[in-house]
Structure 1
Amino acid sequence: MSLSPNAALLDKLRAHHPLVQCITNSVVPNFTANVLLAIGAAPAMTDIVGESGSFARVASGLLVNLGTPTPEQREAMEEAVIAANDAATPWVLDPVAIGFLPIRTRLAQQLAPQNPFAVRGNASEILALAGEGAGGKGVESVDSTDAAAPAAIALAQRLRTVVAVSGPEDLITDGQRIIRVGNGDELLTKVTGGGCALGALIAAFAAVRGDYAPVEAVTAAHCVYDIAAEKAAAQAAGPGSFAVSLIDALSTLTAADITTAEKIREEKVQA
């Protein structure tokens, strides 16, 4: 059986064990670290001013998550992004709950033009970053993936990056291609940090993409995570056991599992 790009990138990740620096919110570090360890990456929660920049220069990838942006963490994010760009370390922006919250919204607008490898969020967050929405209900989206698609495409073209919109069907675009991932399970929305961990996975796959296009690396992260969620949901009794089962599923997922189970649709952006 020939491997799909998503499956091949999973094998590459496990062969290279990328070191992923996570500047993330205070609710999720443990879960995010365990997700990275389970998939075969190495997590580092290095978010101290004076260290975050130095670490970004040696990390394989960087996640910048705006979930709980304290003053020191905001400064650490700015420091890390500058260093990551200088060292060609791919970094991912997760603009959590932007829109009606002014501090994180301004920070997202400041960081977004600074060459992120990818931007990922729910539909309301992507609409808000594109200047076309007021944000969601806290960290929850009030908009559909399809409603955010034009904004995601325009944002990807303007920033020259990949924009990923999470939802029942994930949408990933680089402004030229649109890839939809139909895998996943609703229980992902019942676990704190489900989306935040996905941002870290994107950074891990970005670090090992090699000759694959950025949009393909982002798609692989979504596909792997969503298929693991399906496997976990099949044996979980509820959100608590699902969270544990998700870590197990990520650690045992094979390239053959990906090639067999992936639900991918691709289309080109209409001129």
Structure 2
Amino acid sequence: MGNTKNRAVYEDEEFVQSLLFFDHLRLKELIEDRNAKHHKWGVKFPSLQIHLMPLQLLQFRNPHRVVVMRDAVATASRAFSSDPEAGSIKDALLNILQQTSDLMNFIMRVECPVLLISYEKLIAVPDEVIGTLSAFCGIELNDETRLRAKHAIEPNNKAYIRLFHNQWLGHLDGIDNNCLIGWCCAGENAAPVDVELRANGKVLAFARANLFRQDLLDAGIGDGRFSFKIDIAGLKLTRKSVLQVRVVGEDYVLEGSGRTLQQLRGT
């Protein structure tokens, strides 16, 4: 599943960075490298339809897509409880259904085999799903590898919970020289955090919160390298655009979000 240092998520870190920041040249290099080194290989990335065009799948050798889908109501309930701007559970559910619709539209445009897996069924009957998945991928499993696959299915994985349920801290400060500035960190975790900028609910830009700020260091926030800067000059925002910054792949919204461009400029 690629070069990963964290077995809680099994995500290839090089692919994550190239996809997250739309580095198409680096993505092409990584695909060519994996194709040359491995007969069969895989990569995991959430919400791939946002970061990859269907035609880009042609860069992979004999691509197969595995899509794991979860109960929409449960997902919406989690989003509603953790997002102060969700509005209502109905709004959260509509958002989840729209994301599902976008994913299905992407799948319909992809000319490669696709396997849909229910997360709930995977938990309930893991042996059956593992058999279906291995057959789809053309992989023969012996007793040992089948058992290892089953052991990898761990609901409420403690390592995963620790990784993705840290005490997020952060703030959207304002605008300086046409750049949105702020900071974000994951509690005591020293690893940099990736954030995304949304305007009126639409994702417009990404940034890594790894810039140094003396005031963060003085406040005892790690080594002070948790700030970010997002150039908004070319984003075609209006004075009434409502801006929000959140952690990529998470529901955590930075404090100070929800203000208009005019309010952030202080005018």
TM-score (norm: length of structure 1):
0.31
**More strand by proportion, 1 or 2?**
2
| RCO higher in structure (CA 8 A, sep ≥6) | 1
TM-score (norm: length of structure 2):
0.32
**More helix by proportion, 1 or 2?**
1
Larger radius of gyration: 2
